[in-house]
């Protein structure tokens, strides 16, 4: 997983997986990508960065089940709790956390939970039922994809268990394109 340089073979795999052949018309363009990054104080990880700049900024064809969102979009069912998202602050987790299983959560759990949803990630989309896929853009897991639900959060990739897929945006898309279940390692 190289988050600093876009591999042409990975970009070709992304283009094929999403069946995008519109000459870049659905892409955001580099000027808009740079403006988004400047506004949020981040640099999007590759190859997602080149993907939204040159291939497409969102797609109705998956992943996830309800389509890939635009880089600046949130799902319709995200809610309106008035919480400000801060992509420049680091995503707080480095390992899976199932908060629903905690019988005696720490006093900081609510604050950390707020950060899980609002710091250091863009929302790639939803599989419905409060299941959101995030691409981490800031912090130690930059470039990794996480599934964040109403009960917990788990990183996607073979080194984390639960799946045989490679980590990162390309691994996540390839796994979907191969029509494999998200948790295929158990």
Place 134 in a pLDDT band, splitting at 50, 70 and 90: very high
- Which of 37, 7, 11 has its CA nearest to residue 122? 37
What is the CATH number for 172? Answer: 3.40.1580
The reply to whether 90 falls in a domain is: yes
The reply to whether 116 falls in a domain is: yes
Kindly give, in sequence order, each residue whose CB lies less than 8 Å from that of residue 131, ignoring residues fewer than 6 positions away. Answer: 64, 147, 148, 149
CA 163-70-11 angle, to 5 degrees, is: 60
Name the domain count of the chain.
1
Kindly report, residue by residue over 95-133, the tens digit of the pLDDT: 999 887 766 666 678 888 889 999 999 999 998 888 999
Specify the pTM: 0.92
The reply to whether 166 falls in a domain is: yes
Kindly report, residue by residue over 141-180, the tens digit of the pLDDT: 999 999 999 899 999 999 998 898 899 999 999 999 888 8
Range of the domain at 98: 8-74+83-177
Question: 127: how many CB neighbours lie within 10 A of its CB?
Answer: 16
The reply to whether 184 falls in a domain is: no
């Amino acid at each position: 997983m190289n988050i600093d340089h876009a591999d042409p073979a990975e970009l070709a795999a992304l283009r094929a997986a999403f069946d995008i052949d519109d000459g870049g018309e659905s892409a955001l363009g580099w000027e808009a990508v740079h403006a988004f990054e400047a506004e949020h104080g981040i640099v999007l990880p590759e190859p997602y960065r080149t993907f939204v700049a040159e291939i497409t900024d969102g797609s109705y064809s998956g992943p996830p089940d309800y389509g890939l969102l635009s880089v600046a979009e949130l799902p319709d069912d995200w809610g309106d709790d008035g919480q400000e998202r801060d992509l420049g602050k680091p995503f707080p987790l480095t390992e899976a956390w199932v908060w629903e299983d905690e019988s005696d959560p720490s006093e900081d759990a609510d604050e950390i939970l707020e950060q899980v949803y609002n710091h250091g990630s863009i929302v790639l989309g939803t599989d419905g039922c409060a299941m959101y896929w995030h691409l981490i853009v800031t912090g130690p897991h930059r470039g990794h994809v996480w599934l964040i639900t109403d009960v917990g959060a788990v990183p996607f990739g073979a080194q984390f268990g639960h799946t045989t897929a490679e980590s990162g945006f390309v691994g996540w898309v390839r796994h979907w394109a191969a029509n494999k279940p998200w948790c295929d390692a158990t």
